[in-house]
Amino acid sequence: MSAPVTGLVVTDRDGSRLLTLTLPGLVTRLCVVLPVFLALVVVDRLAPEAPWWPPLVLVVLAAAAAELPDTSVGLVTLGGLVAWWLHAVTGPSEWWALLVAGCGLAFHTALAHAAAGPPGCTPTWAVVRRLAARCTGVLLVTGALALVVEIAEEGGEPPLLVVGLALALVAALPWAVRRG
Amino acid sequence: MPEWRPTYAHLRAVVVGLATLVVGLAAGRADAVVLAAPLVLVALASARRPTSVPTATAEQRSLTVNEGEEVTWEATVTGLPPGGSATFVHPGQRLLEVEPAEGLLCDERDGSAVGQVALRPLRWGRRRLGDPTVAAYDGWYSWRHGPVPLAGLRLTVLPVTAPYNAAAPAPHPRGLVGMERAARPGEGTEFNKVRPFGPGDRLRRIHWPVSARTGRLHVTATYSDEDAHVAVLIDAVNDVGESTGIDGTRSSMDLAVRAAAVLSEHFLHRGDRVGVRVFGAWGVSLVPASSGLLQLRRILDTLCLIEPGTARGEDALAARQGLGAGTLALMLSPLIDPAATQQVAILNRAGIDVVVIDTLPPGMEDETGTTAAALAWRIRMLQRRVETTRLASLGIPVVPWSGAHSLDQVLRDLGRRRATPRLVVR
């Protein structure tokens, strides 16, 4: 065939497909599990005395989310990761938080991409490039926010304006969704 | 009518992002605000439900291809939101290769996305493929439209006509035009003899060296060129063996259909009249003999409709209908059903030159199991061996099909045999 072979197909004697291992499918699964693993390594580095089993549970949840991308397992995993960070890391660590936020975004985007079609769905390079560009933009904004937070923390309490704007944002979001 | 629906990704971004943000603000945790920021930004970017209405269309409804040939199925989704994408999934099925098998994700350009999926049918036949599905997404996969099923493709897969390079002529040419050398002299190209000039002879036929030597005008006589009537008979009562497509193992029907296609193309290219008769398949019985490339297409279209074993118990005498003495009958059969042997005998008694092309796949005769079915098969194979020996004793050649040149020697032998007088039942 002229199109490149993108996967290894395992069939039974009747020719029915049992399993298809595709390169895009493997890469997507790795992009789901690895960011969680990296984030847990960061947490372990910042809080070495923390118990060992929550990271294990989160890795298992990440692997389950990679297999079931269009379910709420991803929500549980991401929520668990954030909760574990908030519980385990107590000291000031905005720049490490930026790294973990990047991992969270990578996990979220990879999982959303995996849910767009059957497991192993082949994206065009344009799709991948566009997604990477969007994630880069979001991370740049997040980096700028981390910088603002760092500067604000040096000044003591966070400014009331920032708190007010954030709460307004939270209030406005459901309204915006309902309008849509 | 599908509409845009939020996905789990949207739920995840909204719930985790906002909850983390609220907790961070409430607890005075700046790191939580940083953690929440990307998810909140994603939730904000895709907060509004897309307003466009995607429409999916596929131009192709039916296609005719040769087996093993690759075709492209194409669908277009219009009305995508800016930065959106569309997923195209074509279901696979047995003896059909789909690439990419798990679907294709394409990005939006000017509000539309075009997906192309390669299909490669591995076996002849006519089939309706499964319904492909298309789904549309916004830029962050937060909203999904569909999936929407599209009409499946009707695929007519013609058997391959591999080059068949037999040099031997058909034994009994009888028509008016063609490439076969007839038995009688006439206008043609094949040299017959040099004879004295007679009334009506063309001047360009004069053989000047002989005329000068003898003192009388002599001309070069030729055999006339004529066509032959070739009847391809296909035994579709049984399909023996496993078929895994054009690149894999072949069943008896695979061998028969592909051999019929190759033989029909060969004799039609020589200018002969070729007809096809199928036994044992419902709805497909006869393609009247004719010549030309259109006849080849007619035959291929008929061959791909064969469904073996759907019409049993046909009259053995039906094989003789429309076939006169002098016809070359090529019977393609695995010789499992005794009716096939009867038909061959009937045709032979009618003075029709019959060549039996054995389409039993190689290795099928070697059954070593001890089950009742294995023993029954071995007994049938022994009977089959006896029947083929009887056919050979009647002067009916039984040739295993092995591609090009399978019939070369047999057709030459039949051509030589026509000079021999023989008894024919009228």
Q: How is B211-245 classified by DSSP, letter by letter?
A: HHHHSS-EEEEEEEEE-BEEEEEEE-S---S----
What DSSP line would sit under B353-417, residue for residue? Answer: EEEEEE-PPTTTT-----SHHHHHHHHHHHHHHHHHHHHHHTT--EEE--STTSSHHHHHHHHHH
Task: With beta carbons less than 8 A apart as the criterion, state whether B373 and B399 touch.
Answer: no
pLDDT at A1: 36
Instruction: Judge whether B390 lies within some domain.
Output: yes
Q: pLDDT tens across B315-347, in order? A: 656 666 677 767 888 889 888 888 888 888 888
Say yes or no: B281 and B323 in one domain: yes
pLDDT at A5 over 50: no
pLDDT at B418: 57
Say yes or no: B200 and B318 in one domain: no
pLDDT at B110: 87
A105 pLDDT band (50/70/90 cuts)? very high
Asked if A127 and B35 come within 8 Å (Cβ–Cβ), the reply is: no
Min mean pLDDT across A13-17, B2-6, B264-268 is at A13-17
pLDDT at A159: 61
Asked if A82 and B103 come within 8 Å (Cβ–Cβ), the reply is: no
Is A21 part of the contact surface with chain B (CB cutoff 8 Å)? no
Looking at residue B205, what DSSP letter applies?
G
Sequence letter at residue A178: R
pLDDT at B178 over 70: no
Say yes or no: B204 and B328 in one domain: no
pLDDT at A37: 94
Taking the whole predicted model, whether its pTM rises above 0.80 is answered as no
Comparing CB atoms, the residue among A70, A93, A158 nearest residue B31 is A93
Say yes or no: B384 and B242 in one domain: yes
CA distance B316 to B321: 10
Asked if B38 and A138 come within 8 Å (Cβ–Cβ), the reply is: yes
Say yes or no: B339 and B218 in one domain: no
Q: Which residue of A has its CA nearest to B23?
A: A86
Total domain count for chain B?
Answer: 4
Domain boundary among B166, B197, B226: B226
pLDDT at B111: 86
Overall residue count recorded for chain B in this entry:
426
CA distance B345 to B333: 14
Question: Measured between CA atoms, how close is B63 to chain A, in angstroms?
Answer: 18
Is A94 part of the contact surface with chain B (CB cutoff 8 Å)? yes
pLDDT at A34: 94
B250 pLDDT band (50/70/90 cuts)? confident
pLDDT at A94 over 80: no
The domain in which residue A77 lies consists of 23-179
Instruction: Judge whether A8 lies within some domain.
Output: no
Asked if B101 and A115 come within 8 Å (Cβ–Cβ), the reply is: no
pLDDT at B68: 86
Instruction: Judge whether B287 lies within some domain.
Output: yes
pLDDT at A36 over 90: yes
Asked if A180 and B47 come within 8 Å (Cβ–Cβ), the reply is: yes
Q: The domain that contains B91 carries what CATH number?
A: 2.60.40.10
Q: Which of B334, B359, B329, B361 is nearest to B345 (CA)?
A: B329
Min mean pLDDT across A58-72, B105-119, B124-138, B175-189 is at B175-189
B175 pLDDT band (50/70/90 cuts)? low
Task: With beta carbons less than 8 A apart as the criterion, state whether B58 and B150 touch.
Answer: yes
Min mean pLDDT across A126-130, A165-169, B93-97, B244-248 is at A165-169
pLDDT at B141: 92
Q: Which of A126, A147, A139 is nearest to A35 (CA)?
A: A139
Say yes or no: B138 and B79 in one domain: yes
pLDDT at A175: 63
Partners of A24 on chain B (C-beta within 8 Å) are: 102
Say yes or no: B324 and B254 in one domain: yes
Instruction: Judge whether B173 lies within some domain.
Output: no
Percent of chain A with pLDDT over 70: 74
Instruction: Judge whether A12 lies within some domain.
Output: no
Mean pLDDT of B224-235: 78
B313-328 exposure pattern, b = at least 16 Cβ within 10 A, e = fewer? ebebeebbeebeebbb
pLDDT at B167: 57
Sequence letter at residue B47: A
CA distance B357 to B398: 6
Mean pLDDT of B80-98: 88
Q: The domain that contains B374 carries what CATH number?
A: 3.40.50
Looking at residue A159, what DSSP letter applies?
P
The domain in which residue B216 lies consists of 180-226
Total domain count for chain A?
Answer: 1
A173 pLDDT band (50/70/90 cuts)? low
Instruction: Judge whether B296 lies within some domain.
Output: yes
Q: pLDDT tens across B251-283, in order? A: 888 889 988 998 888 888 878 888 898 887 777
pLDDT at A4: 40
Say yes or no: B350 and B214 in one domain: no
Say yes or no: B222 and B233 in one domain: no
Say yes or no: B316 and B407 in one domain: yes
Say yes or no: B396 and B328 in one domain: yes
Say yes or no: B402 and B318 in one domain: yes
